[in-house]
């Protein structure tokens, strides 16, 4: 009886593991994720990202603006935010950088704060550098009418 229970449990674990591995293989769809800069940690590679470039068109309403310059080496932590050195309300006039949006000073209850709200402090969660990199995963996305190229 005990041997039967152990055998059954063993085969359940093997089935679960097989399902997990096959699901992971299916999800990658044959894409070599090691070639992705996000995964491999490679520096820019064949991706073209000039130091400064014109702003790209947005693709949908309320899309966070993309960053038209490299952010390599930018530190954004709980103690420092390199982005605010140019885009903060104290500096944007002298640097010529776009000012942080007023929406970034509101907390989740809509209360206006004197500093960037904690939920909007980590800029690179929403704002990404512009690049001409090919998509890692094939998609059929098309910009909303009147947006994009």
pLDDT tens for each residue of 5-25:
777 777 777 777 676 666 655
Is residue 104's pLDDT more than 90? yes
* Averaged pLDDT for residues 45-70: 73
The alpha carbon of 127 is separated from its chain's Cα centroid by a whole number of angstroms, namely 7
* Averaged pLDDT for residues 31-55: 50
**Among residues of the chain, what percentage have pLDDT more than 90?**
30
pLDDT in the model for residue 105: 94
pLDDT in the model for residue 43: 46
pLDDT in the model for residue 13: 74
The CA distance from 109 to 59, in Å, is: 28
pLDDT in the model for residue 14: 79
- Number of C-beta neighbours around residue 120 at 10 A: 17
């Amino acid at each position: 009886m005990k041997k039967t229970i152990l055998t059954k449990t063993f085969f359940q674990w093997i089935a679960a593991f097989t399902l997990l591995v096959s699901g992971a293989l299916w999800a990658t769809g044959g894409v070599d994720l090691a070639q992705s800069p996000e995964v491999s940690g490679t520096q820019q590679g064949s991706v073209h990202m000039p130091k400064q470039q014109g702003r790209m068109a947005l693709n949908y309403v309320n899309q966070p603006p993309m960053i038209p310059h490299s952010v390599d080496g930018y530190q954004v932590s709980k103690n420092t935010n390199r982005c605010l050195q140019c885009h903060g309300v104290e500096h944007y006039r002298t640097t010529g950088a776009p000012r942080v949006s007023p929406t970034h000073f509101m907390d989740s209850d809509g209360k206006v704060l004197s500093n960037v709200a904690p939920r909007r402090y980590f800029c690179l969660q929403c704002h990404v550098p512009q690049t001409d990199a090919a998509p890692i995963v094939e998609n059929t996305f098309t910009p909303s009418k009147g947006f994009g190229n």
